[in-house]
Amino acid sequence: MVKHFLSLASFTQHELMDLVEKAQSFSHLLQTPEKIPPLLQHKIIANVFYEPSTRTRCSFEVAAKRLGGEVINFNPENSSVKKGETVYDTLKTLESLGVESLVFRHSDDHILEDLKSAFHLPLINAGAGKHEHPTQGLLDLLTLYQEFGKLQGLKVAVCGDIKHSRVAGSLMVAAKIFGIKIYLCGPDSLRPLSTDSMIEAADFDSTLPEVDAVMMLRIQIERHEGLELDAKTYHHQFGMNQRRQKMMQPHAIIMHPGPFNRGLEISDDMVEHPQSRIFKQMHNGVAARMAILDWAINRKGL
Ligand code: NCD
């Protein structure tokens, strides 16, 4: 059976914990890269990104290379996509070239679900519209697990454009699987309605003293039409800054998937604040993606 990695929802708590622990082992191994077993030797993965990316695409590349694999970075902008080739035909072309896995990002929420049955190599969701971003979900779980030694019972505030965020989408799926309490903060118009008891709307400032982590989110300007945003007002109402950091518990951490807009959803001085784990999340992105590539491509892995 082909092991696609499309949504965290297809995993049980036990399976997902195995992946978090596998990612944790890779994060230890990354301290001495020369000792990492070449689990992807002679394997080629293709990064196929129809939307911009810095962290996800580069960390997949680093992850594959750390495991001894090779990477093709397919760029739709200078490809036959410009001649009208469809997504299906593009992915089928790469499959027929013999690559071992396709890492795929697209603005459509469900395109991979629609295409998956036609493919015989693992498809990895590197960001599906505003739906899910499961590899980010795994690195976020790894970051929380490293910090607190557990996932069950943690409380996480999410603040920003939750409605259009695939990062929040995957975090909410993970929250239901692990029993993490999620507080949805930020502008009403950017908050989805929750139907789950683990996920509830809350006032940002009153939630801050209660939580173990705060996940700040970027306003997804590319998914809005005619959005007028006053940066100063938004930052005052919903931005992470020193005033809000002081309301958090000393053990609580600040997270953000990146890219962040300094001065909008997060002040300059918070990005590398001692309570921030933003760059740690990026670092963990490599270990998480090593675990996912190993899981998807190898029968026997680490
Ligand atoms: C996010 C994405 O592309 O979904 N970034 C990421 O992958 N780390 C978040 C965003 O664009 O706001």
Question: Model pTM?
Answer: 0.97
Residue 104 lies in a domain: yes
- Identify whether residues 27 and 84 lie together within a single domain: yes
Q: Count up the domains in the chain and report the number.
A: 2
Verify that 259 and 129 share a domain, yes or no: no
Is residue 1 in some structural domain?
A: no
Domain match, 240 and 292 both: no
Let me know: does 146 contact 213? Beta carbons within 8 Å: no
Could you read off the pLDDT of 205-221 as tens digits, one per residue?
999 999 999 999 999 88
**Residue whose CA lies nearest to ligand 1 atom number 11:** 259
Q: For the chain, how far is it from start to end, CA to CA, in angstroms?
A: 20
Which residues surround ligand 1 with Cβ inside 6 Å? 55-56, 127, 133, 136, 166-167, 218, 220, 257-258
Domain membership of residue 13 as a residue range: 8-133+282-298
Q: Do 39 and 121 share a domain, yes or no? A: yes
Per-residue pLDDT at 300: 64
Measure 300 CA to ligand 1 centroid, in angstroms: 31
Pair 121, 208 in one domain = no
Residue 1 burial by Cβ neighbours in a 10 Å radius (0-12, 13-18, 19+): exposed
Active site residue 133: yes
Find the CATH number of the domain harbouring 219. 3.40.50.1370
Instruction: Mark whether 127 and 155 lie in a shared domain.
Output: no
pLDDT in tens, 46-76: 999 999 999 999 999 999 999 999 999 999 9
Residues 185 and 203 in one domain: yes
Q: Do 95 and 196 belong together in one domain?
A: no
Report, as ranges of residue numbers, the positions in the chain whose pLDDT lies below 50.
none
Active site residue 105: yes
Site to substitute for ligand 1 among 125, 133, 221, most atoms within 8 A of C-beta: 133
Phi-psi region of 160 (alpha: psi -120 to 50; beta: other; left: phi over 0): left
User: 142 and 161: one domain?
Assistant: yes
Among this protein's residues, is 66 annotated catalytic?
Answer: no
| Model pLDDT, residue 221 | 84
Per-residue pLDDT at 301: 64
- Known catalytic residue at 163: no
Q: 69 and 171: one domain? A: no
CA distance 276 to 152: 21
d(CA 283, CA 281): 5
> What is the 210 CA–ligand 1 centroid distance (Å)?
26
> Given this model, what pLDDT does residue 270 score?
98
